[in-house]
Structure 1
Amino acid sequence: MSLVVFESAKQIHCAECRRGPLRHLVREAGVPRCLDCADLGHLVYLPRGDAALTRRAREGSSLSAVVVRFDRRRHRHERRGILVEDAALARAERACLADAEARARRRERDRLRRAAQDVRFTAAFAAAVVRLYPGCPAERAVAIAAHASVRGSGRVGRSAAGRALDEQAVAYAVRAAVRHTDTAYDSLLMAGVPRFAARARIAPQIEAVLDAWRRTPPGG
């Protein structure tokens, strides 16, 4: 179990030595204490961002702590970095410098592998669109698939159902694309029309497009 240190933006002072305001603090028995009073003052702060450096510094430090900060928008604590021994951080930095080139090559290989996976998945998603909507133009199917399946976007194509090419997920992606591309939905929102009212207003247009796409085109 990791020790937890809190990063605070408030004007908080140590309950023991009265020092403050504190950037980093530990809560013991419900009261804040500075790192020195919590016997962590000899540790140095390493912000998040370099996974290899963080891992090596934490593994090489006999004492370490995770630094978190409360995100009001997400209503949860987010990891900000770690506290480790100065010597452990120095060793980790030297190790990372020594194999920086090898790690860069590995990152490039991983990037190319992910890119190839994304190309294959987008093609599979586009094919699923055409299976459900045989009248959908091929270029639109590809555009819908490319938008829905952007890695890290959180869109439906990257959900578990989307990755499984679930018909409901594919249909959701198609409907969303038609809503934003083939109707005045976005303009209505910009004009101040409430979202649900705007959706109700453009629903017949969406259904007309989808009904046309559900039909197999001549010669298809």
Structure 2
Amino acid sequence: MDLVVLEPLKGRHCAECRQGPLTMHLLEFNAPVCLDCADLAHLVYLPRGSASLTRRAREASSLSAVVVRFNRRRRRYERQGLLVEETALARAESACLADAEARSRRRKRDAVRRAAEDIRFTAVLGAEILRLFPGCPPARAQDIAVHASVRGSGRVGRTTAGRSLEEGAVTAAVRASVRHLDTAYDTLLTAGVARHEARARVATVIDEVLAAWRTRP
């Protein structure tokens, strides 16, 4: 059974040594006893907040105590932290630090891997754009692929269809590029034209550009 140490809401004095007011105490026979008299003064306080650190410190400490405080609004005692041996806390902190360093290294490896995957996919997407639209300038196809495949952008290149290089998704990426760069679409939006109306006005121009790009130069 856990030893329980209280954080009193008001000043209490030790029933044995009369020391006080106490910041923490045990209850023995309903009387407050300070940590010195309870032979717990050698323990150090670990506030709640890190489940991993708390678990490791508790496992490494031959003696520990749960620290609680009464919540008047909820009318219950709530855990505030743990008293553990200082050496146990030091070992737990070292273990957690090692874990953090391992996670940091893993994140860096994952970032490198994702960057390499993105480069490969962008190249594949660019090649697929040129296959479907051989008249598209190669530099433009590359720009479209880069724009459409930015990780976390939510653009068509990041969708399931886009990652699978479905023709409809690839065409949608090319169409979006033409809409913004080769038509007056953005100017219409700036002038207050509704999006659907603006798209309708530039649809013919987009179709003409795509038709030209589908033919080899």
Whether 1:127 and 2:127 are equivalent positions in the alignment is yes
Select between 125-134 and 101-110 the one with higher mean Cα deviation. 101-110
Q: 1:105 to 1:190 in 2, by over 3 A?
A: same
- Kept in 1, the 8 Å contact 2:185–2:198? The answer is yes
Q: Give the corresponding residue for 2:114.
A: 114
The RMSD of aligned alpha carbons is 2.8
Q: Are 1:138 and 2:138 counterparts?
A: yes
Structure 1 position 124, deviation (Å): 0.4
Q: 1:181 corresponds to which residue?
A: 181
Structure 1 match to 2:13:
none
Shift of 1:179: 0.3
Alpha-carbon distance in structure 2 between the residues aligned to 1:143 and 1:93 = 48
Unaligned runs of 5+ in 1: 1-42, 47-52, 62-83
* Cα deviation code 1:109-158 (max 9, x no counterpart): 11111100000000000011011100000011111111111111111111
The 3-state SS of whatever aligns with 2:150 is: coil
Counterpart position of 1:158? 158
**Aligned residues between the structures:** 143
Find the aligned partners of 2:55 and 2:155 in 1 and give their Cα distance.
Answer: 36
Measure, in 2, the Cα distance between the counterparts of 1:175 and 1:58.
Answer: 55
Give the drift of 1:93.
Answer: 6.4
Q: TM-score, structure 1 length as denominator?
A: 0.58
Query: Quick one: distance in 2 between partners of 1:200 and 1:58?
Result: 62
How far off its partner does 1:99 sit?
A: 3.1
Shifted more, 204-213 versus 92-101: the winner is: 92-101
Q: Which stretches of structure 1, 4 residues or more, deviate above 6 A after TM superposition?
A: 57-61, 90-93
Q: 1:200 to 1:163 in 2, by over 3 A?
A: same
Q: Call closer, same or farther: CA 1:99–1:136 in 2, change over 3 Å.
A: same
Deviation at 1:108, TM superposition (A): 1.3
What are the ranges of 5 or more consecutive residues in structure 2 without an aligned counterpart?
1-46, 59-78, 83-88
- Matched residue SS, 2:117: helix
Determine what percentage of the aligned residue pairs are the same residue: 60
Look up the match of 1:168. Answer: 168
Q: 2-side partners of 1:59 and 1:156: how far apart?
A: 45
- Secondary structure of 1:99's counterpart equals helix
Structure with the greater alpha carbon radius of gyration: 2
Q: For residues 32-87 of structure 1, what are the alpha-carbon distances to aligned partners after superposition, in whole Å with 9 as ceiling and x for unaligned?
A: xxxxxxxxxxx96x6xxxxxx78x479889xxxxxxxxxxxxxxxxxxxxxx9745
Kept after mapping to 1: 8 A contact 2:53/2:96? no
Instruction: For residue 101 of structure 1, report the CA deviation from its aligned partner.
Output: 2.7
| Secondary structure of the corresponding residue to residue 216 of structure 1 | coil
Residue 97 of structure 1, CA deviation? 2.0
Normalised by the size of structure 2, how large is the TM-score? Answer: 0.58
